[in-house]
Structure 1
Amino acid sequence: MRVTSVNVVEELIPGPKDSGLTAIDKRPQSGRVVVGELGLVGDRVCDTKHHGGPDQALYVYADEDRAWWAGELGREVPAGLFGENLNTDGLDVNGALIGERWRIGEGPEAVEVEVRSSRIPCITFQHRMGLDGWIKRFHQGRRPGAYLKVLKPGTIGAGDAVTVLSRPDHEVTVEVLFGDQDPAKMSGMLDAGIDLVDEIRAMAERVSART
């Protein structure tokens, strides 16, 4: 399991009509990139109301899922096209549990992160792809990728190993959170006692109440 690309904003580009500029245009970087609690140094967030912050410090997307989308769309899906900061190989990003922790790299500059939530597609993402109905199609693909919180800052570069440090005792993966939202699984996540994003906790409480 390894990082294959580290991507930061290339330039701010126009978003959908009347939405201003967006920093979704991410491109691979050479060498090592410093990572702080709010993400990669040199990256940007324009819509701070809906994006960014410690719980969305890094967005990771698997190469295997990029390849799947390339086949579905009949077009190249280069690293960073989805606005992701990290691409990985050999890591089941969508199968990661909410609250799962990883180490990226080795030694004193290794970064430690926690899986916080699945990516929710927005109109800016649809505009970026240039495809009508992309939000619905992305949902149907059930390959959302994950937002990560930085627990230990450091540096990240392509080729860094990804090591799973811990997995909480529940069954809510990134994919489950994005899709089914099964009441029993949501209840199990709440009972696991892990730290949750406020919006996810509220949703889980709502869903688990259906049982």
Structure 2
Amino acid sequence: MKLLTVNIGQPRPTAHPQGRGGDTGTHTRPVEGPVEVIDPGPKGDGGSGLAGDAVCDLRHHGGSDQAVYAFAREELDAWERELGGRKLANGVFGENFTTLGLDVSGARIGERWRVGTDLVLEVTSGRIPCRTFAHHLGEKGWVRRFTQQGATGAYLRVIEPGAVRAGDPVEIVHRPDHEVTAALQFRAVTTERTLLPALLAAGDALHPEALRKAREYVARQG
């Protein structure tokens, strides 16, 4: 298991079909590194955990619980086939880490990875597709298609900071004994709300927003 590329995004203007504009950092590209990765701070104030990586919409993106976004090269390859042979470069999904040999969407919430020598990350959630992502990809019905596929990649928080570069090994150093994966968490908060109670098994390792939704759902069932 290894880190194929470390990807950094710079602010670029975007325009939604509805006429709304603004900057986005979704256009991530591989860099040689090394790149320092730290806890960026609370959502709303902190952006990306990667030095030099832009997060333009701090209301919905970035912060401690979404410090790093990882996506598997194997899933990009699957999407290339799904999209009729369209070539998808590392970083095209806005991921900071493109991995090889690692089941990213199948990673358990609270699972910890050591990347390189020092960096330790913890899986918090899957990625919810947004209209900016859809506009960036330019594929018809992209949000629906990505949601149905359910291979979301994973957001991670920084447990121990460190510098990383392409080619660094990735080691799973802790795997919780529950079965709540990033993919299951994604389904629970999107298409299969009846799965929400199952998320509670992941405890405080779960992204706080998903944990709140699970607790509210259970309370309503009463």
User: Fold match, TM over 0.5?
Assistant: yes
1:97 matches 2:108:
yes
**Residue 153 of structure 1: aligned partner:** 161
Which shows bigger deviation, 68-77 or 167-176?
Answer: 167-176
- From 185, 200, 214, give the equivalent of 1:190: 200
Which shows bigger deviation, 200-209 or 53-62?
Answer: 200-209
What runs of 5+ residues in structure 2 fail to find an aligned partner?
Answer: 41-48
Q: For residues 189 and 124 of structure 1, what CA distance do their matches in structure 2 show? A: 27
Q: For residues 96 and 135 of structure 1, what CA distance do their matches in structure 2 show? A: 22
**Residue 32 of structure 1: aligned partner:** 34
Q: For residues 182 and 154 of structure 2, what CA distance do their matches in structure 1 show? A: 7
**Residue 132 of structure 1: aligned partner:** 140
Q: For residues 162 and 133 of structure 1, what CA distance do their matches in structure 2 show? A: 34
Cα offsets for 1:35-60 (capped at 9, x unmatched)? 12121111011011110111111100
1:78 matches 2:80:
no
Q: What is the Cα deviation at residue 18 of structure 1?
A: 1.7
1:62 matches 2:72:
yes
1:141 matches 2:152:
no
Q: Do the aligned partners of residues 90 and 180 (structure 1) sit closer, same or farther apart at CA in structure 2, a change above 3 Å counting?
A: same
Q: For residues 188 and 64 of structure 2, what CA distance do their matches in structure 1 show? A: 26
What runs of 5+ residues in structure 1 fail to find an aligned partner?
Answer: none
Amino-acid identity (%): 45
Q: For residues 142 and 101 of structure 1, what CA distance do their matches in structure 2 show? A: 21
Q: For residues 179 and 193 of structure 2, what CA distance do their matches in structure 1 show? A: 11
Quick check: 1:184–1:208 contact (8 Å CA) kept in 2?
A: no
Cα offsets for 1:9-52 (capped at 9, x unmatched)? 14523242323111111000013111121211110110111101
Question: Residue type of the partner of 1:103?
Answer: R
1:8 matches 2:8:
yes
Q: For residues 78 and 62 of structure 1, what CA distance do their matches in structure 2 show? A: 12
Q: Do the aligned partners of residues 30 and 203 (structure 1) sit closer, same or farther apart at CA in structure 2, a change above 3 Å counting?
A: same
**Residue 88 of structure 1: aligned partner:** 99
Question: Residue type of the partner of 1:61?
Answer: F
Question: Residue type of the partner of 1:80?
Answer: G
Q: Secondary structure at the match of 2:108?
A: coil
Which shows bigger deviation, 48-57 or 5-14?
Answer: 5-14
Q: For residues 117 and 94 of structure 1, what CA distance do their matches in structure 2 show? A: 9
Q: TM-score, normalised by structure 2?
A: 0.86
Which shows bigger deviation, 16-25 or 175-184?
Answer: 175-184
